[in-house]
Chains A and B, each alone.
Chain A
Amino acid sequence: MDQPVRELPTGAWPAGLTRVPFWVYRDPEVARDEQTRVFEGPAWHFLCLEIDVPQTGDYRTTMMGAMPVVVVRTEDGEIVAFENRCAHRGSLICLDDGGKVKDFQCVYHSWRYDLRGNLTSIAFRRGVNGQGGMPDDFRMEAHGPRKLRTETLCGLVFGTLAADAPDLTSYIGPEVLIRLHRVLDKKLEVIGRFTQQLPCNWKLYMENVRDTYHASLLHTFFTTFRITRLSQGGGVMVGDSGVAHASTTLAAAKGPDDSYAGMRADNQGFQLQDPSFMNAVHEFNDTVNLQIVSVFPGFILQQIHNALAVRQIVPRGVDSMDLHWTYLGFADDTPELRSMRLRQGNLAGPAGFVSMEDGAVGGFVQRGIAAADQEAAIVEMGGATAESAETRATEASVRGFWKAWRAQMGV
């Protein structure tokens, strides 16, 4: 993280953590720097689930920012990852989302790689009929796609290109680590995969995830049905570095609540005709209804009652990103619990009652700031620091995001 301080493209960064200049969401140079300093830098990136690659030769393709990556289970059971790029001409080595192989072969000129991404053979290396071929001094071991460091935690596979990055658990920090273990304590099962294409800079989505202030105001479904109100118990945890966050909401207290009186989100008359879809069980031995965990820059774990999902952020240029949703259950789900997850799945995702707005609101900002490169966002709710708080009426976690971003970007 000791990269040289970069020159700011547009103006200076305001003092402190409470202002975010809008050019940071718009400048193509910032996006290029993010690729080298964040996505290929000393950060840990969610790659896939351990169950995506259960056996030797099972692979899955994913992204680290703009960089295509292959994750694969080797002969000795280890999960490794390397850049999905042939050393020869740079073609993708794997073309599908996943599969099972003995080794990898680039389709372009049949250069082969073992399961660790080592170049093992070159077609016509010795030429044909004594003519052509590679020079005798060409060393295959000196060429190959870049290899990642990988770590597996709670069934999640993370990777980084940085040899000097701290280990994954130190990166996340002990406080948030407990929140990950709380949910991911058993063998997982994928129950759905969807991609949501968002018309905004990737940082706007991650800020939204960490923004505990907006949830019950923008998402009125939440508030109306008392799934979460800021007046319910809960809080937000932010690690020292700002890298990881966890927010929690406790089960609702009974009785009327007037803390939202007069706001758009206050709509106490709205009732479900089929309230059974909100049937839920406390499956984690506590009364936390909702927990969101994030790990900088692009990983999110969601528990909304029994609707579980991981989300992965993949930037697509300055004003577009892909959000990859993987809906989860546990392998030992009873049919009743699985049915609850399927019905509660309506809460989240691209069509989610309490999350569809998150797909649009980043775009509202992106369009709103189109001419505001000299202006800055205000991130001052709950003070100026990025510390854990026992309220969600704070933007502490958003400030934590910028703490982590600025450390890695050197601004």
Chain B
Amino acid sequence: MMPPDGELPKAGLPSTGLPGAEMIDVATLNGACASAIDSGRLEDWPGFFLDRCLYKVTTADNHEAGYQAGLIYADSRAMLRDRIAALREANIYERQRYRHILGMPLITGDEDGTIAAETSFLVVRTMRDGHMIVFATGVYLDKLRRDGAGNWRYAERIVVCDSQRIDTLLAIPL
């Protein structure tokens, strides 16, 4: 097949053509974070974020329109902890679980100690009666930095859902 005219899109790989350490770092954090959510260890989830952070769940339409509001909007790790505490102690929702299927991270930036990455996700929600739906698909727009102990953490995670339609409610974070 003939290559298309013009400049080829940047694949986000280092010049060696091999996956960089950044990609492994991002994929590792993504996997650990999704595992905490999917296995019900929600109390662990805020720990994947820096103290000062931004976690926002929005949709592609909202993101493209530049709308600021999110379905969930938290700008501190303490707010993420509050959300989990509310889910455990205050909010009412039927028993359900998520399964995150994560794509390979695309590294979109790496400077001044901050890695920027995009990772596709697919979340299937299973209710207590076994009913399953594709609850959400979309992309994580992430910025990662190391915390004081040298561990990569999310400084920013914008969850851009492909659909603007949420079935019933969004309790467990994406």
Which residues of A are at the interface with B, using a C-beta cutoff of 8 A?
Answer: 97, 190-199, 218, 220-221, 224, 267, 270, 272-274, 276-277, 322, 327, 338, 341-343, 345-346, 349-351, 353, 356-357, 359-361, 363
Residues of B within 8 A of A346 (CB): 72-74, 79, 83
A-B residue pairs in contact (CB < 8 Å), sample of 18? A191-B68, A192-B69, A192-B70, A196-B165, A197-B165, A220-B90, A270-B85, A274-B78, A277-B82, A338-B68, A345-B69, A346-B74, A350-B71, A350-B169, A351-B72, A351-B171, A353-B83, A356-B93
Q: Which of A277, A322, A341, A359 contacts B169 (CB 8 A)?
A: A359
Give the docked Cα–Cα distance between A193 and B59 (Å): 9
Give the docked Cα–Cα distance between A220 and B74 (Å): 20
Q: With CB as the reference atom, state the residue of chain B lying closest to A361.
A: B92
Q: Which of B72, B73, B90, B170 contacts A270 (CB 8 A)?
A: B90
Given contact pairs A220-B89, A276-B76, A345-B73, a sample of 11 additional A-B residue pairs in the complex whose CB atoms are under 8 Å apart: A191-B69, A193-B61, A193-B62, A194-B59, A220-B92, A221-B91, A274-B79, A277-B74, A341-B69, A345-B70, A357-B169
Contact A195 B67 (CB under 8 A): no
Contact A343 B68 (CB under 8 A): no
B153 to chain A, nearest CB (A): 17
Bitwise, B14-44 to A at CB < 8 A (1) or not (0) is: 0000000000000000000000000000000
Q: Is B94 an interface residue (CB 8 A)?
A: yes
Given contacts A345-B73, A351-B57, contact A197 B79 (CB under 8 A): no
B96 to chain A, nearest CB (A): 10
Q: Is B167 an interface residue (CB 8 A)?
A: yes
- B75, B165, B169 pick with most chain A CB within 10 angstroms: B169
Q: Which of A218, A274, A351, A361 contacts B76 (CB 8 A)?
A: A274
Q: With CB as the reference atom, state the residue of chain A lying closest to B79.
A: A274
Contact A195 B90 (CB under 8 A): no
Q: With CB as the reference atom, state the residue of chain A lying closest to B166.
A: A350
Give the docked Cα–Cα distance between A349 and B167 (Å): 12
Given contacts A192-B70, A193-B67, A343-B75, contact A359 B91 (CB under 8 A): no
Contact A360 B166 (CB under 8 A): no
Residues of B within 8 A of A277 (CB): 74, 79, 82
Main secondary structure on chain A at its contact with chain B? mixed
Q: Is B101 an interface residue (CB 8 A)?
A: no
Q: Tell me the B67-122 residues at the A interface (CB within 8 Å).
A: 67-76, 78-79, 81-83, 85-86, 89-94
Q: With CB as the reference atom, state the residue of chain B lying closest to A307.
A: B69
Residues of B within 8 A of A341 (CB): 69
Q: Is B164 an interface residue (CB 8 A)?
A: yes
Give the docked Cα–Cα distance between A345 and B73 (Å): 7
Residues of A within 8 A of B93 (CB): 356-357, 360
Given contacts A350-B169, A359-B169, contact A224 B73 (CB under 8 A): no
Contact A272 B82 (CB under 8 A): yes
Q: Is B58 an interface residue (CB 8 A)?
A: yes
Given contacts A273-B81, A274-B78, A343-B75, contact A199 B70 (CB under 8 A): no
Q: With CB as the reference atom, state the residue of chain B lying closest to A362.
A: B168
Residues of A within 8 A of B86 (CB): 221, 353
Given contacts A350-B166, A363-B168, contact A270 B69 (CB under 8 A): no
Give the docked Cα–Cα distance between A105 and B90 (Å): 51
Contact A198 B168 (CB under 8 A): yes
Give the docked Cα–Cα distance between A199 and B129 (Å): 15
Given contacts A191-B67, A197-B165, A349-B71, contact A356 B170 (CB under 8 A): yes
Contact A267 B90 (CB under 8 A): yes
Residues of A within 8 A of B59 (CB): 194
Give the docked Cα–Cα distance between A220 and B87 (Å): 11
Contact B70 A195 (CB under 8 A): no
Contact B169 A192 (CB under 8 A): no
Give the docked Cα–Cα distance between A346 and B166 (Å): 15
Residues of A within 8 A of B164 (CB): 193-195
Contact A353 B90 (CB under 8 A): yes
Contact A221 B79 (CB under 8 A): no
Closest 3 CB pairs of A and B: A192-B69, A274-B78, A351-B170
B120 to chain A, nearest CB (A): 21
Contact A224 B90 (CB under 8 A): yes
Residues of B within 8 A of A193 (CB): 61-62, 65, 67, 164
Give the docked Cα–Cα distance between A164 and B163 (Å): 39
